[in-house]
Every structure is written in structure tokens, then in C-alpha cells.
Amino acid sequence: MSSYYKLKSSNLMPKFGIGTWGMGEKEKIREKEIESIILSLQNGVRLIDTAEMYGNGETEKLIGEALTRFEYKREELYVISKVYPHNAGKDKIFNSLESSLKRLGLNYLDMYLLHWRGRVPLSETVECMEKAKKEGLIKDWGVSNFDIDDMKELEAVKDGDKCCANQVLYHLGSRGADFDLEPYMKEKNIALIAYCPLAKAGELGKNILKNKVLTDIAGKYNASPAQIALAFIMSFENKIPIPKSSNNKHAIENIKSQNIILKKEDIELINKEFPAPNKKMPLDIV
């Protein structure tokens, strides 16, 4: 069902995935969360995003358990995890990576991201990422929460141009990346993975899901405002939303947003209502 984005490495990344931030932290809803991941997999989702930080490793364990209950071909699954900045040096990164793989029950990651900038020199992290690639522990690597200056600094270090993705906060109410970061990434063929693409159900900034323009457009497509917001992000070639939902109804709704192809006039209306900034904005982070 999912279409794919061809990374600069020539590997394919699904254009839609699920986020797992906040999952695995409460024992009483653990089973429900496992079932929600399985439900997404059963409905064609093949990209799962996580991090060693989430639940202090418990989220990766949760995903690992869900995967043991779902029959899949490893080459069809796309798993992203992230390393803490303080673990991103040669003395710790391989232990972090092996621990993530063990919790997930996998022998390689499709994408490994530096979670945010830290004190470890970028050159050292990149060297480690390239080594992990050569050893078959990861297919590709990228970064998260990097703004334009960070990306340019990364590009300047040896093998920094091998970065395939940057995961940033991106939704209709937070389009700061569109001023200079996204055009730069597009030029360099770097995927933009959009976390919190529904602004945490509209909690962040503008309550986008109750917006009249979005509601009116949703009516035309017999869809929900959330589906239109996701379809808008997917209308960009290099943007991949990873909404998170433990609510089965919402999860299925999110997945079905992949079937919506917005008309040009609707994209223009959304752009007018939620314009990209015309000046540099700080990159939002949650």
C-alpha cells in the first residue's frame, strides 16, 4: 500500500510510518500498545520509528515483542532507531546499537539517527555510522533535530554527505523547516521525517485539526482533518510523516490517509491557511 522514497543510498524508505514515542512506559496499557503496533503492521505499515531514549529502552522492547507476534519478511520492514548524543562516540555507540538491536530482536537497523546534537564531534559520529554500515549493523544513517547550520556543518565532515535523513518536528502549525532547511535537504536528497505530524492531536500551537479550511477540504474527500493534514505532508516528495496513535480507530484513519491524493487547489488552500514562513524561524523541538 505504501509508496516509497528513494534515499541517496538507493535504499527505499516507506513514505508513511508510525511513531512510538511514549509507548512502553506504562505496564497497564502495554498489551494495548503492542496490539496497536500489530494492527498497524496488519494494515500495511512497514516503517516503525523508535529510539533508545523512549521509555529508557522499554519502547524498543515493546516493538520487539510486537514483531515476535507478527509474521513478516525482514526486508519488507523498515525500522529506525536513534542514539543518545552522549552515546554517539566510538566508545559507546556500538554498545548502544547492539542493545537497541537486541531489544528489537533484529540483526540490523534500516536507519540509525543521531537523536540531537551533543558534544561528540560530528566527524567521530559519522565515522562510527559508516563503520556500522560496513559491518552490516545498519543500512543507512541520519540525524534528528538538525537545523540548516547543523546540516551544513555535517556536510563538511568526511562522509557527512552520506546522511540520508533528518527527523524534525513538522506539522501544519510548525513549518519553520520549509524556509531554508527543507529546500537544502531536497537539493541534497535527504529525507525529512516529520515527527508529531498532527501536532500531538492539535495540542501544539494552532489547533490545526479544528481549522475550518482543513475541515472543509476533509468533507470533499470524505476524510478527517487529520487525514488531510497527513496527506498534505505526503504530497511533498521527500517528507515522511510518522504519526503515533495507541487508539485503533485513529491508527487506521492515519494509515488510510495514504490513499488521499490532494488536488492542486486544495494544496494551495492549505498553503494559504498554514503558510510556510517567509523568514528564518528557529526549529521547533518537543
Residues β-bridged to residue 82: 113
Grid cell listed for 68: 515476535
Catalytic residue among 4, 5, 54, 72: 54
> For residues 240 and 47, is the Cβ–Cβ distance under 8 A?
yes
- How many other β-carbons are positioned within 10 Å of the β-carbon of residue 27? 8
The shares of helix, strand and coil residues in the chain, as percent rounded to the nearest 5, are 45, 15, 40
What lies within 8 Å, CB to CB, of 26 at 6+ separation is: none
Q: What does the chain come to in residues?
A: 286
- Maximum alpha-carbon separation in the chain: 55
| 54 is annotated as an active-site residue | yes
The whole-angstrom separation of Cα 118 and Cα 151 is: 14
What are the residue numbers of the active site? 54
